[in-house]
Amino acid sequence: MKSAKSARLAAIGATLTLAVLTTAGPANADVPTAAGILQAGAQQGIADGYPASIGMVRSGASTRYVSAGTGDTATKVPADPKAQFRIGSNTKAFIATVLLQLEAEGKLSLDDTVGKWLPGAVNANGYDGNKITIRELLNHTSSLPDYFTSATVYRSYASNSEPHRIWPPQTLVDLGLAQHQPTSAPGQKFSYSNTNYILAGMVIKAATDNDPATEIQNRIIRPLGLHNTSFPTSDPALHGNYLHGYEYLWLGSVLKDVTVSNVQAVGSAGAMVSTLDDLATFDRALITGKLLPPAQETELKTTVPTGNGTTRYGLGIGLYQTPCGQRVWTHTGGILGYVSTWEISDDGSKQVLVANNEDHLQENTKGQTDIQKGANNAFCAL
């Protein structure tokens, strides 16, 4: 599962120091104009080949939705901006939030080593979990390779040939460690790796005796009333009102429905399902400090350079400067069949979210670039 890797981080600010940010922009946010810009971006996404594109623009209590295309190519049902979709690596912000809450409760420290909580889990090919901290997992400075580059995982997942295959988290970690020996010391540099968040989910399990899905349900989904958000752990299908997900095969000549896909292959790195509304509610609560005490909010927003211009990375969230100079908190989730991005101002007053229902696990496609341009321009109009 790719998402918010270095190339995409630079390109779209997410699939992204420490300071209280002020967002430059017009005193009176022009939500209708921003929505019109986002709508044009969605329509361009359809021209680029997305079956559907949906989005949301919010300033304060004013919200506008946009949509283009069809949520189901078989029935030709128009895309519903209230529909569910797989959020991919936007799951990472939920995982980071739980670990920060556990730290606030004194149940662990982000400076604890991985080895303390998961003895022997990282102990191969030159990697040592006793030298890697939880914080370094969350900000992608652990030096651990991405298990998703393993042909074993990638081929199974990308082909969608084994939607029910069981992938134990430790198996994913082991496949990651086998990719190559360390190229840097822990804490030395940023390198996006889904292995980090598989391990982060394992730490949650070790510290609470609950799966990450249970902790997220109890700590975030239920308290915030995110009624259309879930963390599937075995069921590969979507239920209720949802966008079908698709991938292009054979150089874009065949569009395949991949709505039913393996969730264990992505796990705590990207298995969650949500909606624009729910994701916007979570993002606003997180960025404005409603989910974390001040000390942990500071940790959340302490960023490291990614090596790509103004883009920086905190704990499960990115910090990005839009082309018009506004700084936004952001992340992208690219997963089989779906890609989504959110942007929010530091005070939580301004938000733009977009989701599209085609992803064939390639980065920086024309559709991704055009949709992100629309999102950036919409945010700049707020």
Mean pLDDT of 31-48: 96
Question: Does residue 17 sit within a domain?
Answer: yes
Q: Are 113 and 128 in contact (CB under 8 A)?
A: no
Q: Is the pLDDT of residue 125 over 70?
A: yes
Q: Determine what percent of the chain is predicted with pLDDT higher than 70.
A: 92
For the ranges 1-10, 150-159, 284-293, 325-334, the lowest mean pLDDT is seen at 1-10
Instruction: Give the amino acid at 192.
Output: Y
Q: Is the pLDDT of residue 305 over 60?
A: yes
Question: Does residue 171 sit within a domain?
Answer: yes
Question: Does residue 348 sit within a domain?
Answer: yes
Tell me the residue ranges of DSSP E strands in the chain: 52-59, 62-72, 77-78, 85-86, 123-124, 127-128, 246-249, 254-257, 273-274, 304-308, 311-313, 318-321, 327-335, 338-344, 350-356
Question: Does residue 109 sit within a domain?
Answer: yes
Range of the domain at 325: 6-381
For the ranges 20-29, 239-248, 315-324, 363-372, the lowest mean pLDDT is seen at 20-29
Question: Does residue 1 sit within a domain?
Answer: no
Question: Does residue 310 sit within a domain?
Answer: yes
Domain count for the chain = 1
Q: In DSSP terms, which residues pair with 280 in a beta bridge?
A: none
Active-site amino acid positions: 89
Q: Are 361 and 334 in contact (CB under 8 A)?
A: yes
161 contact partners, CB below 8 Å, separation of at least 6: none
pLDDT band at 3 (very low <50, low <70, confident <90, very high): very low
Q: Are 352 and 240 in contact (CB under 8 A)?
A: no
pLDDT band at 29 (very low <50, low <70, confident <90, very high): low
80-120, pLDDT tens digit by residue?
A: 999 999 999 999 999 999 999 999 999 999 999 999 999 99
Question: Does residue 127 sit within a domain?
Answer: yes
Which of 9, 11, 27, 58 lies closest to 345, judged by CA? Answer: 58
Residue count of the chain, please give it: 382
How far is residue 140's CA from residue 226's CA, in Å, rounded to a whole number?
Answer: 28
Q: CATH number for the domain including 142?
A: 3.40.710.10
Question: Does residue 253 sit within a domain?
Answer: yes
292-295, Cβ contacts within 8 angstroms, sequence gap of 24 or more: 292/97, 292/100, 292/101, 292/104, 293/104, 295/104
Cα atoms in the Cβ-side hemisphere of radius 13 Å centred on 152: 13
Q: Is the pLDDT of residue 150 over 80?
A: yes
Q: Are 69 and 318 in contact (CB under 8 A)?
A: no
pLDDT band at 1 (very low <50, low <70, confident <90, very high): low
pLDDT band at 201 (very low <50, low <70, confident <90, very high): very high
Q: How many CB atoms lie within 10 A of CB 198?
A: 30
Per the prediction, the chain carries an average pLDDT of: 92
pLDDT band at 252 (very low <50, low <70, confident <90, very high): confident
pLDDT at 253: 81
CA-to-CA separations, 33 to 38, 55, 80, 366, in angstroms, rounded: 9, 14, 21, 24
Pairing of strands 85-86, 254-257: unpaired
